[in-house]
Amino acid sequence: MQGQKLPEQNVSYQSFVVDNSRWQGFNMRAGDIIISTPPKAGTTWTQMICALLVFQKTDLGKGLSEFTPWVDAKTIPIEEVLATYEAQTHRRFIKTHTPLDGLPYSSKANYVVVGRDPRDAFLSMDNHRQNTSPEWLALIAKNAANKKAAAGNAASAKKQTTKKPAAKPADIGQQFETWITAEGPMEEGFDPQKSSLLHHLQSFWAYRHLPNIIFLHYADMKQDLAGEMQRLADFLQIEVPDGLMPELVQAASFASMKQQADIMAPNAHKGIWKENSRFFNKGEIGQWRDVFQPAQIDHYRKVMDKLDPEFVQWVENGTLS
C-alpha cells in the first residue's frame, strides 16, 4: 500500500475511566494482536478467541484478563499493565477500547476491530452498568490520583478523578437517543457511557484497505463462529490442526464462556462485578426491538442516514463484502 496514508495517533482520549496516554510506554512487537472494540461489541469474546488460537488449548490455566489487561483503563496502574505485556513470550493479544486515531500504529502489528448493531450494544452496556460494583469506580479514582500525585500535580489529579459522569435520564430510550447522537472523539472528562460507537468503528473504516486490519462483527460470530474463527486464524497466519478447531470453537461459545464466568469475565477475581455470570448476559441479536419505541428508532435512523450506506450495512448486519 505504498503511497497511501497510514493511521496516525493524533487524538487524546481522557475520561474518568480511560487514558490513552498510557500507550506511551508500550513497546510494540511484530505480530502483536491489537483488539480494538467499542464497549460491549464482543471484546471479551474476541480476546478468548485469540487466546484459543494462540495457545491452541482450551485450559488457559488462569483468568483471561491476566493475559490481556486493558491498557487504557485506570483500574490497574500502567506500570503493572506494561510489565505484564513485557514479560510475555507468547504472541501477545492486547485489549483496548480506544479508536484507531488514538492508538499507536505499526505495520508489523495486527489490528482486530469488532462491530455490533449499536442498538444491541447499548442495551448490553446498560446491563454492564447495572452489574458493575461501586468499588470499581473507587479503584479507578485511586489509581489515577496516584499517578498524578507522583508527577507532582495532585491538584490536577483531584480535578480529573472526581469528575464523575453526569447523571443520565431515567428513561432508557432517552439515554439511547443521547448516546447514539454522540459524534466524534471523546473530550477531556467525557462520560465514557456516552462514547460514540460509530466514531470508533469509523476510525477503522477509513483504513479498511490496509492488510493488517480485519473487521469482525458480533452477528457473524453468532451465526458462524467456526467460520469467523478460521477467518481470523488465516488473517493472523495461525495454523490450527483440523481436528482441534471444533474443540476451540466449543470453548469460545457463549454458553461455555458464561459457564466459566469466574475466569472469563474481565478482572472477575478483583470483585468488579456484582455477578460474574451476568457479564455474559444474553448475547442476543435484535433484542432492541422489544425495548425502544418508534420515536427512538426514528431518531436512530436519522443519525444513521447521514453515514456511508455501506458502513451502516456492515455496522447493523455484519459481513464485509
**Does 209 participate in catalysis according to the annotation?**
no
User: How far is Cα 183 from Cα 91, in angstroms, rounded to an integer?
Assistant: 35
Q: Which three cell numbers stand for residue 34?
A: 491489537
Question: Among 97, 200, 217, 299, which one carries the catalytic annotation?
Answer: 97
Buried b (16+ CB within 10 A) or exposed e, 8-41: eeebebbbbbbbbebbeebeeeeebbbbbbbbbb
Q: Which strand (E) or helix (H) includes residue 194?
A: none
CA distance to 41, 75, 81, 88, 140, per residue, from 137 (Å)? 22, 8, 18, 28, 5
User: How far is Cα 276 from Cα 258, in angstroms, rounded to an integer?
Assistant: 9
CA distance to 55, 119, 149, 201, 225, per residue, from 60 (Å)? 8, 33, 37, 30, 20
User: How far is Cα 321 from Cα 148, in angstroms, rounded to an integer?
Assistant: 46
Which residue type occupies 203? Answer: S
> Who's near 154: CB < 8 A, 6+ residues apart?
145, 148
The DSSP bridge pattern shows strands 93-96 and 110-115 to be unpaired
Number of other CB atoms surrounding residue 197 within 10 Å: 24
- Tallying the residues shown for the chain, one arrives at 321
Which residue type occupies 293? Answer: Q
Give the ranges where the chain is alpha helix by DSSP (H). Answer: 43-55, 64-67, 78-87, 118-131, 134-150, 154-161, 172-181, 197-205, 218-223, 225-235, 245-251, 254-259, 261-264, 294-304, 309-317
Which residue type occupies 96? Answer: T
Q: Which residues are catalytic?
A: 97
